[in-house]
Amino acid sequence: MAETHTDANGLVLAADGTPLKQSLRRALRAQKTRALLLIAPLLLFILISFVLPIGEMLLRSVQNKAGTSYIPDIIPNVVQTLEDWDPASGEMPPEAVYRAMAIDLATAFEDRNHTQLGRRFNYETPGMSSLFRKSGRPVSRWDIETDGPFREAFLDIDDDWGNIEYWATIQANSGYYTGGYFLAAVDAQRTSEGITMKDPDQRVYQKLMVRTLWLSFVITVCTLALGYPVAWLLADLPARTSNLLLILVLLPFWTSLLVRTSAWKILLQQQGVINDFWIALGFAERLSLINNQLGVIIAMTHILLPFMILPLYSVMKTIPPSYLRAAKSLGATNTTAFIRVYFPQTTPGIGAGALLVFILAVGYFITPELVGGADGTFISNRIYYQFSSSGNWGLAAALGTLMLLVVLILYYIYDKLVGVDNVKLG
């Protein structure tokens, strides 16, 4: 035990002469610092790979930019003159607005921003991209001091400059931040009459969202139905045999996801192995297994099956076999012993596997893209399209944010109904 002393005031001193409380606080602070340094690489990794990308996604979903510049910085005069104009009046903007547009559009043309400006407005109202692209060069040649009136000059370029909906779009998207991307993500639109829902046949994202959640649920149920007996068998077999079979369960992880999906595309096609075997059995018509929802369910169930088996197996392995034998010795049938004794103890593994499979299924896009066709694509395929092909990063970020919100809500509901504390991996 360390030697201690007391000073004239009765304070306990450590061996180095400092007050014991101060010495203990310093030692505790040093211990916490060492612990923080140990977990610092993990915290940094989470910050860079998880927190910052999500924060960037949330920010992009509300930023009102054309290229790298904010809309009010590209057309400041138009934004200012449009403040007092009411699109609900049914009247075209005053001459001052057209003059402001001539000034700002000429500057945007010199800065090569006019096409990006038109593309940004085109996300809200189709047709505006070509309008700005067509008008940039002619407007840049005008003399603001002598030319005019500018309303007639713009209408000479294109009659769409007299379209009130176009001007309403410009006014509605004249701030630094916008909710337009989220409106588009839920198939809503802002018109001169206010916010309205699109026609039912144009509500693409609502349909994709429901399809994604429904198919993910079906895939989760399928993996549970197939994975539960496999995990039970692995847990019941001797260790040497179960380890060998467990390697076969893990074997798909050693093969590329793209290769596995391509293999299923070959198996499920009209002239594929499964249909050839079906015809060999004597059936006249070939099955439609590709480019539809059935193909997505089959392929993704196979791909995600190990993620269900492993949590189930790890939980089942901890259940003593003597429990079932004890239940049977007390007169319970095999079915009763399973339902009342064994199955309740496996529910933590079911919860863990179901959460894992469902969340993974919601975010899949390679498999639905290759085997789903038009009827089997997920919302993730549309997000990827907006990122890669359309270049509409704001809409893609809004769709991703909504999907994240939906998953968190479902997770919250699951926690309230089942309890996340009951989810175990063994």
Q: Grade residue 424 by pLDDT with cuts at 50, 70 and 90.
A: low
The pLDDT of residue 410: 85
Which residue's structure tokens are 């400006």?
Answer: 117
Distance in angstroms (rounded) separating the CA atoms of residues 374 and 38: 49
Which residue's structure tokens are 């064994």?
Answer: 342
Cβ atoms of residues 311 and 228 within 8 Å: no
Q: Grade residue 1 by pLDDT with cuts at 50, 70 and 90.
A: very low
The pLDDT of residue 163: 92
Q: What share of the chain has pLDDT > 70, as a percent?
A: 93
This prediction's pTM = 0.82
What are the beta bridge partners of residue 196? 189
Write out pLDDT tens, residues 174-199. Answer: 999 998 899 999 998 887 677 888 88
Flag whether pLDDT at 30 surpasses 90.
no
Write out pLDDT tens, residues 273-293. Answer: 899 989 998 888 899 989 999
The pLDDT of residue 38: 87
Q: Spell out the SS3 assignment of the chain.
A: CCCCEECCCCCEECCCCCEHHHHHHHHHHHHHHHHHHHHHHHHHHHHHHHHHHHHHHHHHCCECEECCEEHHHHCHHHHHHCCCCCHHHCCCCCHHHHHHHHHHHHHHHHCCCHHHHHHHHHHHCCCHHHHHHHHHHHHHCCCCCCCCCHHHHHHHHCHHHHCHHHHHHHHHCCCCECCHHHHHHCCEEEECCEEEECCHHHCHHHHHHHHHHHHHHHHHHHHHHHHHHHHHHHHHCCHHHHHHHHHHHHHHHHCCHHHHHHHHHHHHCCCCHHHHHHHHCCCCCCCCCCCCHHHHHHHHHHHHHHHHHHHHHHHHCCCCCHHHHHHHHCCCCHHHHHHHHHHHHHHHHHHHHHHHHHHHHHCCCHHHHHHCCCCCCCHHHHHHHHHHHHCCHHHHHHHHHHHHHHHHHHHHHHHHHCCHHHCCCC
Cβ atoms of residues 342 and 324 within 8 Å: yes
Q: What share of the chain has pLDDT > 90, as a percent?
A: 43
Write out pLDDT tens, residues 204-248. Answer: 999 999 999 999 999 999 999 999 999 999 998 888 888 888 888
**Which of 39-61 are b and which e, b meaning 16 or more Cβ less than 10 Å from the residue's Cβ?**
eeeeeeeeeeeeeeeeeebeebb
Q: Distances from the Cα of 291 to the Cαs of 44, 202, 209, 322, in angstroms?
A: 42, 22, 18, 48
Number of residues that make up the chain: 426
Q: Which residues contact 104 (CB under 8 A, 6 or more apart)?
A: 74, 75, 76, 77, 78
The pLDDT of residue 425: 55
Nearest 5°: CA angle at 368, between 364 and 371?
Answer: 145
The pLDDT of residue 2: 47
The pLDDT of residue 378: 93
Write out pLDDT tens, residues 88-112. Answer: 888 899 999 999 999 999 999 999 9
Q: Distances from the Cα of 57 to the Cαs of 46, 51, 77, 116, 403, in angstroms?
A: 16, 10, 30, 20, 12
The pLDDT of residue 9: 62
The pLDDT of residue 6: 62
